[in-house]
Amino acid sequence: MENSKKIQLGLLALVAILLGLNLTGAFDGLMGKSSDEASVRNDARANVTSGTATAPAPAANNAAPTAAPAVEVPTGPTTTIEFKEKEFDFGTIDEGEKVSHKYEFTNTGSEPLIIKDAKGSCGCTVPSWPKDPVAPGATGEMLVEFNSKGKTGSQNKRVTITANTNPGQTFINIKGEVNKSETAAAPVQ
């Protein structure tokens, strides 16, 4: 009779251990359940124990697709960037002329600065930047060229720089006035 009590206590302890594993989600991997199913179940379990009456979130494979982020910011340690000037006014030029300006910047953080991308607000504004990491405390230059072909009037173009900075994007501007060219204004005979 004493052996049967030991067996009953052993089985009871085993059930308690399995129940504990199931409640913590550690048992899911052994049973072949996905982490999404476990997450939904754990969310529902948390709602029951907290007394809230919210529905569990749908599993990821049932969720509506989300748009990919517009810009992929580099991951890892972040740093800071400081531009000597963030805006350059090229003054007045004639349509068809190209102007360029070098924007000097400093890596003011404690990690190497990695510029992943730089894009102009339109195809007429083309930036070029250092492809190698910029050491902490070091300076670098970003060259921005504006092509006024087909552009007239007041111009204000933005360059978006994506780097391992916080925030992940920095902006610089190039602006000025573009006069209509004489050849474009002349009537065709």
Q: Are residues 26 and 88 in the same domain?
A: no
Instruction: Say if CB 162 and CB 107 are below 8 A apart.
Output: no
Q: Are residues 86 and 45 in the same domain?
A: no
What value does the mean pLDDT take over residues 32-58?
39
Q: Are residues 57 and 132 in the same domain?
A: no
Domain span at residue 92? 81-181
Count of structural domains within the chain: 2
pLDDT: is 184 or 45 the higher one?
Answer: 184
Last residue of a domain, one of 14, 32, 62: 62
What does the alpha-carbon distance between residue 128 and residue 100 come to, in Å, rounded to a whole number? 11
Percentage of the residues of the chain whose pLDDT score is greater than 90: 54
Q: Are residues 53 and 115 in the same domain?
A: no
Residue 63's pLDDT is 37
Burial class (CB in 10 A: 0-12, 13-18, 19+), 16: exposed
What does the alpha-carbon distance between residue 169 and residue 48 come to, in Å, rounded to a whole number? 42
pLDDT digits (tens, 9 = 90+) for 154-178: 999 999 999 999 999 999 999 999 9
Mean per-residue pLDDT over the chain, rounded: 77
Q: Are residues 85 and 152 in the same domain?
A: yes
Last residue of a domain, one of 33, 62, 91: 62
Report the CATH number at residue 109.
Answer: 2.60.40.10
Q: What are phi and psi of 131, to 5 degrees?
A: -85, -20
Instruction: Say if CB 22 and CB 15 are below 8 A apart.
Output: no
Q: Are residues 131 and 97 in the same domain?
A: yes
Residue 71's pLDDT is 54
Structural domain contains residue 75? no
Query: 35 Cβ partners below 8 Å, 6+ apart?
Result: 28
